[in-house]
Structure 1
């Protein structure tokens, strides 16, 4: 296990499965030939020199060659030639790691802006000064303005503090910034449709689908939780589902989407019951 950790940390093994890069077929064939050929040659020479009965010679060759090749010679040769065997995979992985280190960072930004002309333009200009590229934008009307959700890519040197500072300076309020992945670039309509299909197939998936859609957490005991960042939707089974997202109130549009999903679950459950 310690050797595996060393390989992963050194970049020689896969970060996910811990395995070494698979060697090329030609290199693997040559390595196995180099392991088996000398063994076969030596054993045949020994058998010829001793000259035992034919059946005994064949049996000895088969058993001895197989046992030594599988348990001794081949593993030793594989270890000895490990660097040469996995060299192409190491080079490819090193190149991939270098590309990842140079790749831009992805961030999700939520910010409240005044609902007047020029506010979003001012924000985009401020982000452009950081060489930030806006890859996704969703606008949610809220009381006293609009709540914008952006997905931006930035140079690797830009951090959340700098993003928060520049967005606040551009007139943003209640700014939240956190790292995200390319999954955030899937447009909201596609996500909602996918989750709707999931709820139709299994209405019991409703609470998990809503939590995923809104980035919220299901409250398992609503009586013990009271707070402003709460959303309640009807449950086809237990009356209500309650969700929370601390520090980030739900917008009217998000509430409407969650209620539509609940209606989809109720309709799917009624159809299934009528069969």
Structure 2
């Protein structure tokens, strides 16, 4: 026997589902799981079935047509498809609790999407879906575009995705402490810094190479305790986030306030670089800046710091302004007019 996924639309009238299931049963197709999605076009029935090994896709489509099913989609399925959708959604919600930044990956798994694109710009239209495209607002700023060639999205799938989005937003608005799961399986704790972290931040600087410190501070060297204290608890709306492996501080991201503009800076210990920590911290800092009402963020780094510049561009930064060995970039805040532009009247 072989597992298949079937999706077909039938008239939302009494008895029509039984006609479709009877047509499949006559061909020895065993229905293992079924979901019904109500749409304006009718009831969209989603089956996971066990069919004879000799049965072809064409034969399944014929059986669906004889059972009054239309707009049919048929594809081979794997054993993991036996997990019901509520269990699958709860498992993905559990993953988000430990990694709120894993929303894009969770949407791929939830919707069997072929691609999920994150954009730094907020949606200019209402979130929604059509055929193989779904758009969702990211609670951390920006938006998601979810793509799937077939089958078309349904209202139930959009509702599930929206619920996952709302959960992610609630997690981000809550306690700053979160578990960050890296692609290589390592786990870090991300939280806001306090003055009690001075010794841990000293250790981060002591373990960082001269080249890493040069890219962070431009002038090089290790800042003294007075400056580190100002970075741990910045004035006004500033914040500093730390990433910890156990009790060891391995990265820090700082947001400094200058009126309605903010400045961001990052330091990641050499052995932890290029593992996704910087991107995760910068996304959190961008969300904090949006919540605090900043108009834009700037970042100054060494002109040869290719990894940092690439990460900033990925998050929506424009082209870097170079001044000798230093590069400066601007990150727009979603929902705010870009610096230097005039808001529409």
Q: TM-score, normalised by structure 1?
A: 0.58
Q: Which residue of 1 aligns with 2:151?
A: 248
Which of 33, 42, 47 is equivalent to 1:145?
42
> Can you list the C-alpha shifts for 1:144-168, whole angstroms capped at 9, x where unaligned?
2011100110111111110011101
Residue 208 (str. 1) matches residue 105 (str. 2):
yes
RMSD (Å), alpha carbons: 2.0
Q: Which residue of 1 aligns with 2:124?
A: none
Runs of at least 5 residues in structure 1 that lack an aligned partner in the other structure: 1-103
Q: Which residue of 1 aligns with 2:251?
A: none
Counterpart Cα distance in 2 of 1:127 and 1:173: 14
Q: Which residue of 2 aligns with 1:126?
A: 23
Q: Cα gap change, 1:236/1:217 in structure 2, threshold over 3 Å: closer, same or farther?
A: farther
Structure 1 range deviating more: 167-176 or 235-244: 235-244
Q: Which residue of 1 aligns with 2:137?
A: 234
**2:174 partner SS:** helix
**1:152 partner SS:** strand
**Deviation (angstroms), 1:266:** 1.1
> Can you list the C-alpha shifts for 1:160-192, whole angstroms capped at 9, x where unaligned?
110011101211111011111221111111100
The question of whether the paired residues in 1 share the 8 Å contact of 2:104 and 2:118 is answered with no
- If each structure's strand is expressed as a fraction of its own residues, which one has the higher value? 2
Counterpart Cα distance in 1 of 2:10 and 2:131: 20
Q: Which residue of 1 aligns with 2:53?
A: 156
Q: Cα gap change, 1:111/1:227 in structure 2, threshold over 3 Å: closer, same or farther?
A: closer
Counterpart Cα distance in 2 of 1:228 and 1:107: 22
**2:117 partner SS:** coil
The question of whether the paired residues in 2 share the 8 Å contact of 1:203 and 1:265 is answered with yes
Mapping of residues 159-178 of structure 1, within 5 Å: 159-178=56-75
**2:12 partner SS:** coil
Q: Cα gap change, 1:217/1:237 in structure 2, threshold over 3 Å: closer, same or farther?
A: farther
**1:196 partner SS:** helix
Q: Cα gap change, 1:257/1:221 in structure 2, threshold over 3 Å: closer, same or farther?
A: closer
Mapping of residues 181-196 of structure 1, within 5 Å: 181-196=78-93
Aligned length: 170
The question of whether the paired residues in 1 share the 8 Å contact of 2:131 and 2:153 is answered with no
Q: TM-score, normalised by structure 2?
A: 0.47
Counterpart Cα distance in 1 of 2:169 and 2:79: 32
**Deviation (angstroms), 1:227:** 6.9
Q: Which residue of 1 aligns with 2:162?
A: 259
Residue 105 (str. 1) matches residue 2 (str. 2):
yes
Counterpart Cα distance in 2 of 1:144 and 1:236: 31
Q: Cα gap change, 1:219/1:207 in structure 2, threshold over 3 Å: closer, same or farther?
A: closer
Mapping of residues 58-77 of structure 1, within 5 Å: none
> Can you list the C-alpha shifts for 1:192-216, whole angstroms capped at 9, x where unaligned?
0000001111011111111111111
Q: Which residue of 2 aligns with 1:95?
A: none
Which structure has more relative contact order (CA 8 Å, sep 6+)? It is: 1
**Deviation (angstroms), 1:229:** 2.1
Q: Cα gap change, 1:119/1:185 in structure 2, threshold over 3 Å: closer, same or farther?
A: same
Instruction: Kindly report structure 1 stretches of 4+ aligned residues shifted beyond 6 Å.
Output: none
Runs of at least 5 residues in structure 2 that lack an aligned partner in the other structure: 122-128, 178-190, 192-345
Q: Cα gap change, 1:221/1:237 in structure 2, threshold over 3 Å: closer, same or farther?
A: closer
Larger radius of gyration: 1
Mapping of residues 18-33 of structure 1, within 5 Å: none
